[in-house]
Amino acid sequence: MYNLLSLPNELTTQVIEELDLTDTWSFARTSKEIYNLSQSAMQRHQEYKEKYSIIGLGLPVWDDDGNDDGTTFDEGHPLFFIEQILRDPRIACYVTDLRLSRCGTEPRKRLFQGKDFGKQRERLATIITAVGTELAALGANCPWLNESRRLHWQEALLAHPNQAHYAALLLTLLPNLRSLAMKGMCYDCEPISELVEAIGKANRDRSSAVHESALSKLRSISIDHWENEFGQDITVYTPFVPLPSLRLLHGRRICGESDPDEAPSALVDGDIRPLRQSQVDEIEITCSSVASKAWRSLLKPIKNLKKFTYEHVGAVVGLEYYECLAIMAILREYACHSLEHLDLTCMREYCEHEQYVGDLKAFYNLRVLRLHAAAFCSYDEDKEITDRKYLRLADLLPASIEAVTLISWFDRDGAIDFLGEVAEERDKLPKLKRICLEGDWNDPWDYIGSCNNVGIEIIESELAFRHPYY
């Protein structure tokens, strides 16, 4: 009876070369002979993993002073990396982190920031000529698009060396992609949205011929706009939200004022699943200005949101007014049963009157909280913030709370008194272990002893800003 070790070494080596990294390591451990034959393959796997696990495509993001922000984009235009994959398909399996920069639908001369625009276009034309047949096949046979859209994509891939179509196509070629970051995005990234939406529908339909054949492992999406004015519209997340594998939405300089009745298009019109089936459990949007009605559109399909972070900065990105009460009402509607971490702030001075959040007892799983101290002031539009009364935290927080961070721009009379009240009514907040006072506060030392006696630690810290304007 023959066994694997009876095969010629050359044939066994060919078998090993066809295995991925995980299978190669497992196979190598079966015997000393196999281990020795696997050394070359394991070395190649390691080299490919180090070189291709994180890929930056596009052009460097420049700040207002003309400096690169430090992110490395070695591959340049997405087509350059697609060419590498077409020549060596094994590369695609190693990419787990893809970072796209300025991938809009039109290549603009100003985006090259001093690079030879003519040479870039000449290189793109050369690549299209060299691998045009393969590109045409990718567009013509794209299983997520209907026939008319395939024809459009085929023409776009061959006639217009724009970044967005190639970036979208690249997403279908990376089977192990887990993290996608789009930085300095242009406003026009419709090709990415179109293809991702179609992939999302296929991934939710187990009967689909292309079920989980692309983006099936994507866990996080990050959008970082970095333009001089305004921000990236929050609807850019819409096609990604329905992806079954997605867990984290991250963004900076995001704006949004979408219609409250709008739902993500990938979740309506004959879709096979109920609306609220998104598996996203964490949202972190900072240095942004998003209207409450836009938040409703984004949160509506999410089933079990556990962490919500939003930092409002006002008109420098988009919407001036901070709709804190309305945002809290939406969170109560869609996430009161699951939310464990809430960080909701407006980092503009003289905005205390917009911070009130109301009673939080409905969030019965809430463990970590970060709010402005004025969030617990009695709400009265006719009164100045200095004339409002601070409410008792023990009467507003759920019994599940473990850590609270309160922000204060200015010393306010009575703002620190809640520490004594929390210590006196410890039984209402049995799990509370830490209170962090961030920013400017009156001396809390009179209350530290009483809080420590009941097992509550008091911490003071500097005001933490997440955006570049302060």
pLDDT of residue 9: 81
Write out the chain in H/E/C secondary structure. Answer: CCCHHHCCHHHHHHHHHCCCHHHHHHHHCCCHHHHHHHHHHHHHHHHHHHHHCEEEEECCCECCCCCECCCCCCCCCHHHHHHHHHHCHHHHHHCCEEEEECCCCCCCHHHHCCCCHHHHHHHHHHHHHHHHHHHHHHHHCCCCCCHHHHHHHHHHHHHCCCHHHHHHHHHCCCCCCCEEEEECCCCCCHHHHHHHHHHHHHHHCCCCCCCCCCCCCCCEEEEECCCCCCCEEHHHHCCCCCCCCCCEEEEECEEECCCCCCCCHHHCCCCCCCCCCECCCEEEEEEEEECHHHHHHHHCCECCCCEEEEEECHHHCCCCCCCHHHHHHHHHHHHCCCCCEEEEEECCCCCHHHCCCCCCCCCCCCCEEEEEHHHHECCCCCCCHHHCCECCHHHHCCCCCCEEEEEECCCCCCCCCHHHHHHHCHHHCCCCCEEEEEECCCCCHHHHHHHHHCCCEEEEECCCCCCCCC
pLDDT of residue 257: 76
Q: Which two tokens mark 109?
A: 């001369």
Q: How far apart are the first and last CA of the chain?
A: 75
Average pLDDT, the chain: 79
CB 204 within 8 A of CB 273: yes
Give tens-digit pLDDT for 378-437.
655 555 545 556 677 888 899 999 999 988 766 555 556 777 778 888 888 999 999 998
Enumerate residues 6+ apart whose C-beta is below 8 A from 266: 197, 200, 201, 238, 239, 241, 242
What number is the average pLDDT over the span 318-343?
Answer: 90
Percentage of the chain surpassing pLDDT 90?
A: 27
What number is the average pLDDT over the span 78-104?
Answer: 86
More confident of the two residues 359 and 442: 359
More confident of the two residues 209 and 402: 402
Sign of CA dihedral 13, 19, 24, 26: negative
More confident of the two residues 425 and 278: 278
Give tens-digit pLDDT for 52-77.
999 988 765 444 443 444 444 455 78
Top mean pLDDT of 35-44, 140-149, 225-234, 361-370 is at 361-370
Using 50, 70 and 90 to split pLDDT, how confident is the model at 132? confident
CB 319 within 8 A of CB 335: no
Query: How many angstroms separate the CA atoms of 90 and 365, rounded?
Result: 45
Query: Quick check: 252 pLDDT over 70?
Result: yes
Give tens-digit pLDDT for 113-127.
445 556 777 778 888
pLDDT of residue 105: 46
Which region among 233-237, 253-257, 308-312 has the lowest average model confidence (pLDDT)?
A: 253-257
Using 50, 70 and 90 to split pLDDT, how confident is the model at 92? very high
CB 331 within 8 A of CB 308: yes
pTM as predicted: 0.84
What number is the average pLDDT over the span 306-333?
Answer: 86
